[in-house]
Amino acid sequence: MDSHVVTYVLDIILVISAVLALYFRPRIGGTLAVGLRLIMVGVFFLGLTHLTDTLLKDFVEAIDATTRPLLHRGLNVVGFLLIFVGFFQMRKAIES
């Protein structure tokens, strides 16, 4: 199997897994729900960054090989920040 096909399949599996995790998350209320939702959106964002990086590499020639990894890492930082804020919200809800 071609490595490009494997890359696309894995990237799509990441995005689908994140969507399924968001859909099947526990249905809780209040601040815990806000925190969990932020965590799930962060996970979705992380999965999406891989697909975005692959698509940029294959279809957008205006972005060079040094800028693409910077975009990828920047998007990963945003995803992790959402996860951290979500954990902070959940911790705050549990402690109160």
Distances (CA, A) of 61 to 49, 57, 94: 18, 7, 48
Question: What pLDDT, on the 0 to 100 scale, is given for residue 61?
Answer: 80
Single pTM value for the model: 0.79
R_g of the chain computed on alpha carbons: 16
- Domain span at 36: 3-95
Total count of domains within the chain: 1
Alpha carbon distance 49, 14 (integer Å): 10
What digits encode the pLDDT tens for the residues 9-67? Answer: 998 998 898 888 888 877 777 888 889 889 989 988 888 888 888 888 888 888 888 88
In 10 A of CB 94, how many CB atoms? Answer: 10
